[in-house]
Each structure stands twice: as C-alpha cells, then as structure tokens.
C-alpha cells in the first residue's frame, strides 16, 4: 500500500491581493476548509484575525472572507480609565446575504446614558445606510481599508468626541 504525500497548494486571497501556500493531499480536500490569517500586517499593527473559506474557481483555489474579528486582548489594551465603553451588535442585510456587525466605541471621558444611547443609535443608522446595496466582499473591503470606521467616526464626532471607533467583529450569518 503506497503512502500518499501531502503537497503545498497556492490559495489566492483576492481581498488582500496575496497568495499563500496550504498543505493538503489534493485540491479537493481543501474545498470548504477554513483558513485563519493574522491581518495585523495589513492593518498597520491593529491586531485582527480574518477567517476565510477556501473554494475552487476555474481550477484555482480562492479564499473568500468569512469573518473579521479583533481579539479580546487587543480590546482590553484600548480601554483606558475614566472612559465610557459603548458596544452594539446587530444583523444587516447586504445584497448577497446577512452580516453580523459588532461595534466598539470608547469615549474620551465618562458620559451619561443618554449620550451613549445617542451614539449607539447614530452609529447603527450610519452602518445600515453604508451597507445597503453592497455585497459582502465590498463591505469586508471597506472594513479592511477602514472606510466604514471613518464614516461612522465623522458622524459620531458631532455628538461626542471618541477615543476609539472600531468594528470589533464582522461575521457572515449562516442561514
């Protein structure tokens, strides 16, 4: 009985414009597998992790982004003393599915509950207006390029100055 050896196959990650080698027996074994990558290099040192699903397109292995998350250790590092933390989680509809978006905001000083609610509602409205009519990959691209975070921050600065305006997680919702 012959022993089958594993080989490296190149998987292209189009959203990052890179290709990475993955070890497997054959290409069929890789279809549907999850690939986890540290995205800190691509986001200027911001500690994040991306999860990708490997699919096959035209005899090439392609990784499609499934989720984007910040680890809890990085979030703890961002939190300072004498600040208020605002978090929110909601599901948005995009043109080719649903995404769960988790917001993470830190104010510069302690604020009242009414200011927190105002920031939370405005951020949610801004995300919903940004996401409408876009595909999942366009949204992930905007998150990786920090376009979505900057648009939220512009609106929220008018309510109260923020120290941090981040998306803690963006995940596809399974049916």
At 174 the pLDDT is 84
pLDDT-based confidence at residue 171 (cuts at 50, 70, 90): very high
Angle separating helix axes 113-131 and 147-156, nearest 10 degrees: 140
- Listed in sequence order, the residues at least 6 apart from 116 whose beta carbon sits closer than 8 Å to its beta carbon are 84, 86
Phi, psi of 45 (to 5 degrees): 85, 0
- DSSP designation for 109: S
As its CATH architecture, domain 72-172 has 2-Layer Sandwich (3.30)
Beta bridge partners of 37: 50
For residues 108 and 110, give the distance between their C-alpha atoms in angstroms, rounded to a whole number: 7
Beta bridge partners of 34: 53
Average pLDDT, the chain: 92
Convert the pLDDT of each residue in 88-106 to its tens digit. Answer: 999 999 999 999 999 999 9
Q: What is the largest CA-CA distance in the chain?
A: 71
Convert the pLDDT of each residue in 64-92 to its tens digit. Answer: 999 999 999 888 888 888 999 999 999 99
Q: How far is CA 26 from CA 8, 29, 51, in A?
A: 9, 6, 21
Beta bridge partners of 98: 93
- Listed residue (66, 70, 88) closest to 136, CA to CA: 66
- Listed residue (88, 90, 128) closest to 105, CA to CA: 88
At 42 the pLDDT is 83
Convert the pLDDT of each residue in 1-31 to its tens digit. Answer: 567 888 899 999 989 899 999 988 888 888 8
- Listed in sequence order, the residues at least 6 apart from 85 whose beta carbon sits closer than 8 Å to its beta carbon are 79, 104, 105, 106
Q: What is the mean pLDDT of residues 97-119?
A: 95
Token reading at 159: 């309510």
Q: Where are the domains of the chain?
A: 8-69, 72-172
Predicted model pTM: 0.87
């Amino acid at each position: 009985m012959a022993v089958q050896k594993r080989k490296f196959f190149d998987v292209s990650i189009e959203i990052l414009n890179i290709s990475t080698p993955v070890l497997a027996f054959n290409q069929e074994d890789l279809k549907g597998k999850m690939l986890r990558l540290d995205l800190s290099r691509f986001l200027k040192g911001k500690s994040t992790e991306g999860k990708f699903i490997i699919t096959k397109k035209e005899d090439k292995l392609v990784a499609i982004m499934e989720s984007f998350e910040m680890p809890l250790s990085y979030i703890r590092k961002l939190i300072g003393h004498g600040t208020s933390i605002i978090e929110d989680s909601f599901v948005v509809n995009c043109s080719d599915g649903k995404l769960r978006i988790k917001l993470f905001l830190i104010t510069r000083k302690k604020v009242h509950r009414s200011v927190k609610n105002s920031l939370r509602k405005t951020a949610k409205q801004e995300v919903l207006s940004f996401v409408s009519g876009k595909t999942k990959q366009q949204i992930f691209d905007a998150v990786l390029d920090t376009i979505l975070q900057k648009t939220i921050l512009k609106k929220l600065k008018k309510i109260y100055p923020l120290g941090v305006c981040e998306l803690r997680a963006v995940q596809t919702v399974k049916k």
